[in-house]
Amino acid sequence: AKVAGKNCYRFYSRAMDQAVSRRVRIEQDLRGAWERGELTLAYQPIYRVSDKTLLGAEALLRWQHPVHGQVAPSVFIDVAEQSGLIETIGPAVIRAACKDAMRWRHDGADELFVSVNISARQLRSGDFREQVMAALADSGLPPHLMHVELTETAVLGDEEQARRILSSLREVGIKVWLDDFGTGFSGLSHLRRVPVDGVKIDRSFIADVLRDPDDLALTTAIIAMAHSLGMTVVAEGVEKEGQCDLLRTRGCDLAQGYWLGHPMNMRDFTALVG
Ligand code: C2E
Ligand code: CA
Ligand code: CA
Ligand code: CA
């Protein structure tokens, strides 16, 4: 909750001294938030490391609370997940992201992908594949421009089910990325069992990569290992030019982070690509 808007953070954490009532309050406020237009998508540009070509963007939810201002995803995504609200917000995010990506195409940036975060519950909500296919069909976005990001914990549990769903997405050309890679306990064994096109190295590794030899060794090893499996590697949390330079020398494919571009609203991102 450290990046939450000043007001909402105080409201939701201090005034509500009971964790339960805090969650209930967030849940109440979140109900219908998409329909009221309080939830929007921000887009963070993702670049090819070798020549800094813009290749796509990650869609990140933003909640503008009518009273408390900006509420961070770290505050409300968990609540949306546990309350089941994600089952309505998630599909809305997918539809909006596809529509926005089509808009960039119309503006002349024809091969930009959009990458959408998918939570565990969303992945397993019976009709996930149908939701994605419908969003692609309705928007006209080619499947290869749709990426989904899942954390290792989201694919944990019923791995067979996760594997089935992800394989069926990949069959139509949708790209699957494993998010926050390196933070889970069984990253390597997952790569054997769950079919993914790429991994996103968690930003905790990138943060210290210039100073900490262990983080550099791990980052280098993840890149080499992913490449040997034919996977794409994305680094997140690139905040300094030096980090980007280092990632280039190590052969990292894609990168995102404040040094390359902050998450921005649709209007600003459209201006960036146009
Ligand atoms: P994530 O998927 O790991 O997203 C990257 C987070 O890192 C974003 O935080 C982004 O704003 C932040 N970030 C980007 N570049 C930098 C950088 O250079 N330095 C640092 N320190 N941070 C950077 P954000 O937007 O607060 O999102 C937090 C998390 O909320 C996301 O983590 C994701 O797990 C979740 N989330 C966001 N949107 C959605 C969504 O539509 N659906 C689901 N299920 N989860 C979402
Ligand atoms: Ca992500
Ligand atoms: Ca991540
Ligand atoms: Ca470290």
Q: So what's the pLDDT on residue 42?
A: 98
Q: So what's the pLDDT on residue 2?
A: 45
Please compute the mean of the pLDDT values over residues 193-222 and round it to a whole number.
94
Distance CA 197, CA 187 (A): 14
Model confidence, pTM = 0.93
- The residue nearest atom 2 of ligand 1, judged by CA position, is 117
Distance 172 CA to ligand 4 centre (A): 39
Please compute the mean of the pLDDT values over residues 194-201 and round it to a whole number.
92
- The residue nearest atom 21 of ligand 1, judged by CA position, is 237
ipTM: 0.97
Q: Is the pLDDT of residue 11 over 70?
A: no
Mean pLDDT across the chain, nearest whole number?
91
CA distances from 199 to 38, 142, 194 (A): 31, 22, 12
Q: Is the CB of 151 under 6 A from ligand 1?
A: no
- The residue nearest atom 46 of ligand 1, judged by CA position, is 117
Per-residue pLDDT tens over the stretch 149-180:
999 888 877 888 999 999 999 999 999 999 99
Q: Is the CB of 179 under 6 A from ligand 1?
A: yes
Q: Is the pLDDT of residue 12 over 70?
A: no
Q: Is the pLDDT of residue 199 over 70?
A: yes
Task: List phi, psi (to 5°) of 60.
Answer: -125, 125
Distance 179 CA to ligand 2 centre (A): 6
Q: So what's the pLDDT on residue 1?
A: 40
Name the CA radius of gyration of the chain, rounded: 18
CB atoms within 10 A of CB 3: 10
Per-residue pLDDT tens over the stretch 42-63:
999 999 999 999 999 999 999 9
